[in-house]
Amino acid sequence: MMLSCGPLAQREKGAFIYAVHLPFGGADAFGGGFNAGGFPGGEAQRPRRARKPRKAVGNAFTRTLINLAVTAVFALGYFYIQLPAINLHAEEFYVFAFLVCAVYCGCAVLTSGFQGSDFKGYVGFVKKQCLIPAAAVVALVVVILVGSLASWVVLRASAYSQLLPIQTGDFTAEIEEISYDQIPMLDADSAARLGSRKLGELSDMVSQFEILPTYNQINYQGRPVRVTSLAYGDLIKWFTNRAAGLPAYLIIDMVTQEAEVVRLDEGMKYTVAEHFGRNLYRHLRFHYPTMMFDEPVFEIDEEGTPYWVCSRIVKTIGLFGGTDVHGAVLVNAITGESEYYEEVPSWVDRVYSYDIIMEQYDYYGMYHNGFWNSMFGQRDVTLTTEGWNYIAIDDDVYMYTGVTSVTSDQSNIGFILSNQRTKETHFYSIAGATESSAQDSAESQVQQMNYDATFPLLLNIADQPTYFMALKGNDGLVKMYAMVNVEQYDIVSTGSSVADCESNYRHTLASRGLIAAGEAEVVGGETLTGDGIVAEIRSAVIDGNTHYYVRMEHGVGYLDFSAAQLPRAVLIDKGDHIYYTYRLDGAEFPENGIVPTESLWFEGETPESGTN
C-alpha cells in the first residue's frame, strides 16, 4: 500500500485530504471497501461509550428513610385491603411479610442507583442493599419448614386424633322424644325462598335491600328458627342508606314456616355487607390484629338484639395443624361494640362450625389407631358422611352427621351429635342406612309426585332411631314429610303434615312388631275416636293428593280424610256409618273447621283395618 499526495490532494479549510492508492486493483481488491476512518465496512463505527453510573438518591440516611416510607405505605395499604392476621400461625401473614420484604428491596435498589459494571457486579450490589430483608425472608422460610414439619400428620397422628373428645352414648336413654311441633321442617333453601318472598312484600325495602344468603339456625325463645341480615342492594344503595344502616333482619320459624321481618329502632351499621371502616372483617382486624377468625355468624340474643359471633381460630399442632376454636368475639351489629369471651354466653348457639367438627372427627376416625393403620389394614377406620343437619336439644343446637366405615359407603355404623357451642360430642353406635339411602327410600314412596327429599334429621320416635325429612316439589316448597327407620329403612311413612307422618309411622312400627300397639298414639296430642252417619262429602286435590272432606250428621265442621294416607276414604258414601280417629292439640276445634283424621274403618270392621 502506498500513500501519495498526488493530483488528488486538495486543501480544504486548512486540512489536507490524502488519496490512498492500494495495490491489486484498489479498494475493492478484497471484496469490500474501507471507510473514511480506515476500518472495514461501509459505515463508520464509533467506539462505545462507557455507561455513566446512575446517581444514588441523597445520602444513605435519606435513602433508608425513603425506602422505609414507601414500604410502610405499601404495608398499610395491603393490610387495609387484605386484612392478614399478624400471627405466625396464619398462612396469609407469611405472604404479607414476603411482599413487604420484596417492596423494600425494590426501593433500596432504585434509590441506590443500580450500581455495577456487569452482571456479577449488579448481583453483589443487590445483595448488599437487600441483606436485612433477605435475612428476614430466609428466617421466615425456616420457620415455615420447621412449623410444617411439626404439623405433619405422619408425625403427629396421635395429636390429631385427640382434637375431638368423644363420648359413647345410649341413643334411647339420652335423646328424648321431641314433640312434632318442635321439629325443624325447613332446610336452608326453603328458608331462603320464604325470606325472599317476605321481603318482596315490603315495598319500602325491596328496592333498596337484599338478603344475605347465610340463614343460620338458632334457638330463639324456645323455638328453632333461621335468622339472617339484610344487605345493601348495590354500592349506590349503600351510599344512600349507610347513614341509617340496615333497618331490619329476618326470622324464619322452622316449625310454622312463617317469615318475619324484624324492624330495628336503630339500623345495623357493622355487617359483612358494609364497606371501609364499618365492614365487619375490617372492624375485627383493627381491634384484634393478631387473632384468626372463622366466618362470622349472624345471631340474635333472647331480646332480639343482633350480634355477629366471630369464633377465634387457633392452631394447636405445630404452626399450621390442628385447627380448633378458642372462644369468640361478639360484635353488636348496631353499635359495633365488641368483646372477646373464652366462654361464650349461653344464648349463643353456634361457635364451632360443622366443617371444623367433621374435620376433627375424621382425624379421630382415621388416626386413632395410628397413621399407618389408616393407610394399610385400615382397622376401625371411619369417616363422617357427606351431609349434616341441625337439631335443638335442651336449648342448644346440635350438629348431626352419620359415620361410615372407610371401606364401605352403603351403610352407617353410627352417628355423632355435637354441641355447636361447647363441642361436646357423643357417638351413638347404630348400624343402618346412610342418609342418602333414606332419602332414596322416601322419594320412592311418593315417586309419582317426583318430590325431592331434604337431608334428614335424626329423631327418636318411640325409642326408634328415625330419619325425618321434608319432601319438596319442583317449586322448592315443602309438600309432604317422611320418616324412615334407620335400622330397617324399608319402613317408610309419609304424611301431608308432621303429625300425620308421625302417626302413620308409629302405626307402621306397631304393625311390624317394633313397638306395642299402645305406643302408636302420637306424643304431644290427644288421640280421640269418633263415629257417626255421613251427611255430606266434598273433595279437593291439594299438593297432588286427593282429600275428602266429610261432614257428619249433627256435626260441626268437616273431617279431612287424605286418600294418600287412607286409601279406603274413596269408599265413603253419604249415609255410611263410619268410625275414625283424630287428634286435637290443646284446642277444642281448629279455627278453620277442618279436623285431620288418622284412621278410618266402617261398621262391622275392627280399628286395625283403618290403619296403614
Which CATH number goes with the domain that contains 590?
2.40.50.140
Q: Specify whether the CB–CB gap between 287 and 341 falls below 8 A.
A: no
The answer to whether position 50 is within a domain reads no
Instruction: Mark whether 202 and 286 lie in a shared domain.
Output: yes
Element (H, E) at 67: helix 60-82
Instruction: Mark whether 347 and 357 lie in a shared domain.
Output: no
The answer to whether position 49 is within a domain reads no
User: Quick check: 34 pLDDT over 60?
Assistant: no
Instruction: Mark whether 309 and 362 lie in a shared domain.
Output: no
**Range scoring the smallest mean pLDDT among 240-249, 457-466, 520-529, 552-561:** 520-529
Instruction: Mark whether 225 and 340 lie in a shared domain.
Output: yes
- Give the model's pLDDT for residue 425: 95
Mean local confidence (pLDDT), 419-438: 92
- Give the model's pLDDT for residue 129: 75
Number of domains in the chain: 6
The answer to whether position 341 is within a domain reads yes
- Give the model's pLDDT for residue 96: 96
- Give the model's pLDDT for residue 497: 76
What is d(CA 374, CA 366) in angstroms, rounded to the nearest whole number? 6
The answer to whether position 51 is within a domain reads no
- Give the model's pLDDT for residue 447: 84
What is d(CA 30, CA 227) in angstroms, rounded to the nearest whole number? 95
pLDDT band at 124 (very low <50, low <70, confident <90, very high): low
- Give the model's pLDDT for residue 375: 87
pLDDT band at 582 (very low <50, low <70, confident <90, very high): confident
The answer to whether position 121 is within a domain reads yes
- Give the model's pLDDT for residue 3: 43
3-state helix, strand, coil in the chain (%, to 5): 30, 30, 35
Instruction: Mark whether 81 and 142 lie in a shared domain.
Output: yes
What is d(CA 55, CA 476) in angstroms, rounded to the nearest whole number? 71
Instruction: Mark whether 191 and 173 lie in a shared domain.
Output: no
Instruction: Mark whether 237 and 324 lie in a shared domain.
Output: yes
Domain extent, residue 167, equals 154-180+352-385+398-430
Instruction: Mark whether 259 and 287 lie in a shared domain.
Output: yes
pLDDT tens-place string over residues 341-390: 999 999 999 999 999 999 999 999 999 989 998 888 888 899 999 889 98
Among 468, 499, 518, residue at a domain's last position = 518
The answer to whether position 163 is within a domain reads yes
Q: Specify whether the CB–CB gap between 104 and 69 falls below 8 A.
A: no
Instruction: Mark whether 197 and 271 lie in a shared domain.
Output: yes
User: Quick check: 51 pLDDT over 60?
Assistant: no
pLDDT band at 48 (very low <50, low <70, confident <90, very high): low
Instruction: Mark whether 416 and 299 lie in a shared domain.
Output: no
- Give the model's pLDDT for residue 473: 85
Q: Specify whether the CB–CB gap between 76 and 100 falls below 8 A.
A: no
Mean local confidence (pLDDT), 39-52: 52
User: Quick check: 608 pLDDT over 80?
Assistant: no
- Give the model's pLDDT for residue 180: 64
**Could you tell me which residue, 401 or 200, shows the higher pLDDT?**
401
User: Quick check: 521 pLDDT over 70?
Assistant: no
Among 518, 547, 573, residue at a domain's last position = 518
The answer to whether position 48 is within a domain reads no
The answer to whether position 265 is within a domain reads yes
What is d(CA 233, CA 254) in angstroms, rounded to the nearest whole number? 26
Smallest CA-to-CA distance from 305 within 278, 273, 276, 331 is with 331
pLDDT tens-place string over residues 88-112: 999 999 999 999 999 988 888 888 7
Q: Which amino acid is at 39?
A: F
**Range scoring the smallest mean pLDDT among 325-334, 440-449, 583-592:** 583-592
Instruction: Mark whether 213 and 104 lie in a shared domain.
Output: no
Instruction: Mark whether 461 and 508 lie in a shared domain.
Output: yes
Among 496, 518, 540, residue at a domain's last position = 518
